[in-house]
Structure 1
Amino acid sequence: MTSFAEPAQPESDLDRRTRLRTVVAASLLGTTVEWYDFFLYATAASLVFNQLFFPDQSSFVGTMLSFATFAVGFLVRPIGGVVFGHFGDRIGRKKTLALSMLIMGVATALMGVLPTAEQIGILAPVLLLLLRVLQGFALGGEWAGAVLLAVEHSPPKKRGLFGSIPQIGLALGLALGTAVFALLQVVFDDAQFLAYGWRIAFLLSLVLVAVGLVVRLKVEETPAFLEVTELQQRSSAPVKEVFARSHIRNTVLGLLSRWGEGAAFNTWGVFAITYATTQLRYEKVPVLLVVTVAASLMAVLIPVSGYFVDRFGAHRMYIIGIAAYGIAVFPVFALFGAGSLWLFGLGLVLVFGIVHATFYAAQGTLYASLYPTEIRYTGLSVVYQFSGIYASGVTPLILTSLIAVGSGSPWLACGFLVATSVISVIATSLIRKKDLHF
């Protein structure tokens, strides 16, 4: 069976262009909304939640507890990945993606009306945790489906470019979240922002989700899934096959290869905000603007990297990018600690805006090629979401702890980040081209 099928009826050039534009819009807008919601929590965990939901703790303990609830979202994502992956491989990519977006939007909007610890006591962080669980569950089914929506609709010679489109959504979602928070802190003073200003960012999710659902429901099911359905080759137990003997090698190597990417993103996009505002004592708004600029640059460069993925291969581009990240860690933290916000911004733009775009664009296409169509949604979800526990969710906790152990010095944390790069480069190098499905 081929991995990708052409539509049953021949398409005119106009129909094909219309279909591909809808796919691009659905993949890009959908992932932007989902990641805006998910990483809005990350920004709030750095700046707001430690004060409003853990107010009786010291600054360090409050931040650690806030990051702990952030990590819970990653612990739940594998469950969402398996559940949504199963239905994505059984009933299709389109319906599954619409449901994940709806759940994410409702959970995020509810955070915007959540009472604080001062108002309802211990129930406040408990409810915050439950909503974070819902966020993680929903996102567990989002990324893989969005990647497959793009890759399985793509022309064969543009899979790298199309596979990079959902990755742009992550960068845009982070940029949008940090930009909204920065704007709200300019509009409101500190007391107003803590009292109600931050809630506006979460309630905005309702509008974004409504627009995203309209676009996503217009997209057609992917040709690859329609072929599997027509040939009655859908898997009855996709998650079991992902760990079967014929696929276990790719699954394990995929899980390890993602360690560097997950650690890198949550270092530069999440931890750096807290590090810059608490350890380095930079002002919050300029730091948020730096992250916004870096994430925006990443969004611009991801499709450029996607173009090179089609020329040189996802495997090679991913290795090059991850290796560059590992090499850059120590110099970038040296720039962070130089005492200049401009040098902090330069370091973040280099490693997050440029280097991260290099390998992040290749990731979706690389991991989608690890599995055949009938288990691809589940396989992609397992690799991305299970690795998220150790590669992404706990990274801010580990880095905060290592810096505390080092009495404020970042070099132990840097060593940890370099190790994640080495592991990822080795694991990706061991993925054999003969085991890939396109």
Structure 2
Amino acid sequence: MTTPPQPSVPKANLRENLRVSAATTVGTAIEWYDFFLYAAAAGLVFNNLFFGPLGSGAATIVAFLSVGLSFVFRPLGAFLAGHFGDRWGRRKILMITLIMMGGATTLIGLLPTYESVGWLAPVLLIFLRIVQGISAGGEWGGAVLMSVEHAPVHRRGLMGAAPQIGVPAGLLMSSGMLAIMTSIAPGDAFLEWGWRVPFLLSFVLIIVGYFIRHGVEESPVFEEIAARKEVVSNPVGKLFRRHGLLVALAAVVMAGNNAVGYMTTGGFIQNYATNPEGPLGLDRGPVLSAVTLSAATWLVFTLLAGIVSDLIGRRNTYILGYIMLFAGVLALFPLVNTGQIGMVTLALVLLTVGLGFTYGQQSAMYAELFPASVRFSGVSITYAIGAIIGGAFAPTIASALVQATGTTAAVTIYLGTMALLALAAALVLRDRKGIPLGPDHEELQRISPVRGVGRRPVVEEVA
């Protein structure tokens, strides 16, 4: 079965494509700056200032649990964003999630500590983290579809990498700001006031992100759906009735990347390497600088993966990526445990090769897996489920394993297993590179990409 060329979707020219890519990259970077800032501060600040009365070990685990708690609410954000995004459009949802995330982050920077107001402090902190989780659950799907649905067919991987590189860019900015503040406010000054500055900066970033996203046009796919009055009244229900198995498999594909990535984005490595009661006891500043450098290399490999996926397909890029990620996991702790900052940096940089090659193509792959009428719901909910399975409690699990066993070997086994499970799920899915995304081809899009289920969609790539 060969498909004819796509109709008017995508209709944007090169200039508009570049504007969309810039808007999704900058907007997503701001969103994830906020999200990762909390995760990094959990093991460096919040365990002391908000959960300190629990005792050192328990305070750290509870602080990481508060990081993971937000993931429990990401599906709620994904359900809401998917439902309204498939009915109201991608652009409106992106504006709402940006304001929610930035507002919560700014307020965290103003919170009193446990010493000032007692247990009200951690309660307020956790509430604002939940708001961040709801926002993050809705952000990614909208950014992905704005990029991929505007893209020419042969550049979906490249343009889809735009919101993906916003994630390591957010890590780079958050780690960079914390590293700067450890220099400006070293020692006790960092815990007294220095940590608040990066959170308060989010207010400025909200304004920047709002104006950048405000000027971008709505997705051409959604405009066609709306013009034809084909908007689905209950897209989430339709998604699970027809594509439940696909959602589960695609979520596992993403979970392996998330579990490994949250060793740094979730703050575990930062806490493990700098904990004065731990085996390494490294200075906070150099470790944050190492994480910042690794975020930059993660960004590069994420972009490269998007480009490569346009050449060899999304599935083949995942296979290559998970093999490299598994190797990076095996090297991670032997290098970190040397206690030399150079080796810590090398370990994190090597890990980003596999992280990038299991992430850059994800936008394009997810968008190509789901039919147009339920696509926002599909990509958002799948991503949120994958985040829970993979990253939600990865730092907590890693901390508990180290405390229970006294070594990092169990953490390596855990991360390696997650990577192999994700590789297995990727092998079960067919590649749909080049499939038309517009509503004219809904029948073709509904054919399951799961091997052994339904007919195999044969697509002709349109330049």
TM-score (norm 2): 0.90
State the alpha-carbon separation in 2 of the partners of residues 259 and 21 from structure 1.
Answer: 30
Q: What residue is the counterpart of 2:185 in the other structure? A: 188
> Mind listing any 5+ residue stretches in structure 2 that lack a counterpart?
432-446, 450-456
State the alpha-carbon separation in 2 of the partners of residues 395 and 359 from structure 1.
Answer: 17
Alignment pair present for 1:330 and 2:330: yes
Q: What residue is the counterpart of 1:93 in the other structure? A: 90
State the alpha-carbon separation in 1 of the partners of residues 321 and 6 from structure 2.
Answer: 28
TM-aligned CA deviation for residue 64 of structure 1: 0.6
Q: What residue is the counterpart of 1:25 in the other structure? A: 22
Moved more, 385-394 or 213-222: 385-394
Q: What residue is the counterpart of 2:147 in the other structure? A: 150
TM-aligned CA deviation for residue 366 of structure 1: 1.2
Q: What residue is the counterpart of 1:344 in the other structure? A: 344
Alignment pair present for 1:243 and 2:236: no
Structure 2 residue matching 1:369: 3-state secondary structure: helix
Which of 250, 258, 261 in structure 2 is aligned with 1:262? 258
Moved more, 425-434 or 176-185: 425-434
Q: How does 1:1-400 map to 2 (within 5 A)?
A: 5-6=7-8, 16-244=13-241, 246-269=242-265, 270-278=267-275, 279=278, 280-352=280-352, 354-400=353-399
Whether the 8 Å CA contact 2:9–2:149 is kept in 1: the answer is no
Which of 407, 417, 420 in structure 1 is aligned with 2:418? 420
Count of residue correspondences: 430
State the alpha-carbon separation in 1 of the partners of residues 412 and 391 from structure 2.
Answer: 15
State the alpha-carbon separation in 2 of the partners of residues 293 and 376 from structure 1.
Answer: 35
State the alpha-carbon separation in 2 of the partners of residues 49 and 268 from structure 1.
Answer: 16
State the alpha-carbon separation in 1 of the partners of residues 290 and 110 from structure 2.
Answer: 28
State the alpha-carbon separation in 2 of the partners of residues 2 and 288 from structure 1.
Answer: 51
State the alpha-carbon separation in 1 of the partners of residues 6 and 210 from structure 2.
Answer: 26
TM-aligned CA deviation for residue 2 of structure 1: 9.1
Moved more, 263-272 or 84-93: 263-272
Whether the 8 Å CA contact 1:78–1:385 is kept in 2: the answer is yes
Residue type at the aligned position of 2:415: L
State the alpha-carbon separation in 2 of the partners of residues 193 and 104 from structure 1.
Answer: 24
Whether the 8 Å CA contact 1:150–1:166 is kept in 2: the answer is yes
The structure with the largest helix share of the pair is 1
State the alpha-carbon separation in 2 of the partners of residues 147 and 327 from structure 1.
Answer: 28
Q: Deviations over 1:240-261 (max 9, x none)?
A: 11211x3122111112222211
Structure 1 residue matching 2:8: 3-state secondary structure: coil
Residue type at the aligned position of 1:435: S
Structure 1 residue matching 2:360: 3-state secondary structure: helix
State the alpha-carbon separation in 2 of the partners of residues 64 and 194 from structure 1.
Answer: 19
State the alpha-carbon separation in 1 of the partners of residues 356 and 382 from structure 2.
Answer: 20
Q: From the superposition, tell whether residues 214 and 199 of structure 1 become closer, same or farther in structure 2 (CA, over 3 Å).
A: same
State the alpha-carbon separation in 2 of the partners of residues 264 and 68 from structure 1.
Answer: 17
Q: What residue is the counterpart of 1:431 in the other structure? A: 429
TM-aligned CA deviation for residue 17 of structure 1: 2.6
Residue type at the aligned position of 1:370: L
TM-aligned CA deviation for residue 189 of structure 1: 2.6
Cα-Cα RMSD = 1.7
Whether the 8 Å CA contact 1:4–1:224 is kept in 2: the answer is no
Residue type at the aligned position of 2:220: P
Q: Deviations over 1:56-98 (max 9, x none)?
A: 1221111011111111111111100000111110000001100
Structure 2 residue matching 1:435: 3-state secondary structure: coil
TM-score (norm 1): 0.95
TM-aligned CA deviation for residue 7 of structure 1: 5.9
